[in-house]
Amino acid sequence: MSETMLKENEKLKELLNASNEQLEKLCKHVEKKQEISNNMKAQINQLQDQLTVKIDENSQLEKQVSNISCLHSKISNNMKAQINQLQDQLTVKIDELKIYVEEIQKLKKSIVRLQSQCNATPRSTSSKTSSTSSSSSSPLLFSQKSQPPPLPPLLSSQMSQPSSSSSSFSASSHLHSKTFPTLNDPGHLSGGNNTYNNNNNVNNDNNFKEPPSCKSTHSSTNHTVAHESECRDGDSSYKCPLCQFPFEDREAFANHMTRCDGATR
């Protein structure tokens, strides 16, 4: 009995030892699992902390976006108000410019009308002298002793300037027949047949007469009128009847007469 019991005890001891070894292995395995679990918990806590930080950052970004949106809305409204104000100002300026343009056009028309009136004054005088010349065939009309016809204020003021008796002459010596040619007449600009010499002989195509006191020939109506107002022996300059400025060049004088307003030289 005792030997059998001893053998059974030894077997139980061996089984107990084996169980203890397995238990120790299981404990070690549980410890490893616990460590892994603790590590996982720590990582989870760290991730939760990071998530909390990200959530806070996200909320701050949302606040900034909201502020930027409000600021953008304010800026947009201000810009729209400024644009509307500038558009209103631009409309007012455009209306003012339209008024200025209308006034300038009126002034241009007035200047053109005044220029045409100033240019028409010597021509009307010449037409009066022409009618006087055609109404009488007496040679006394071409003498310097005959009575000159009345002149407009511009020419009469020029005629009243003092001059020597040898160089002065009567306006009746500048009597014209027909009408004055235009400045663009090729015959007059070229100095062809449409000129008068100092012997009072009229060519076939002549439209105005040269004074007998000088030998110069006139190539334009305005030059003839200017020469009528103040003639000097041998003076062949082109003198503007409006501003009294002399020109030696015929083309320069013609260009000047197209834009002279009585003051420009």
CB 207 within 8 A of CB 194: yes
Please report the pLDDT score of residue 257 as a whole number: 80
CB 253 within 8 A of CB 235: no
pTM as predicted: 0.31
Indicate the domain borders of the chain. Answer: 67-110, 151-159+168-265
Amino acid at 4: T
Q: At what angle do helices 2-135 and 221-229 cross, to 10 degrees?
A: 60
Cβ neighbours around 235 below 10 Å, total: 15
Return the structure tokens found at 135: 């109404």
Write down the residue that tokens 């040679």 correspond to. 139
Share of the chain above pLDDT 90, in %: 35
Backbone angles phi, psi at 215, to 5 degrees: -105, 10
CA distance 225 to 181: 12
Cβ neighbours around 114 below 10 Å, total: 12
pLDDT classification of 237: cutoffs 50, 70, 90: low
pLDDT classification of 262: cutoffs 50, 70, 90: low
Backbone angles phi, psi at 22, to 5 degrees: -65, -35
- Decide if pLDDT at 58 tops 80: yes
Q: 131-143, pLDDT tens digit by residue?
A: 444 444 444 333 4
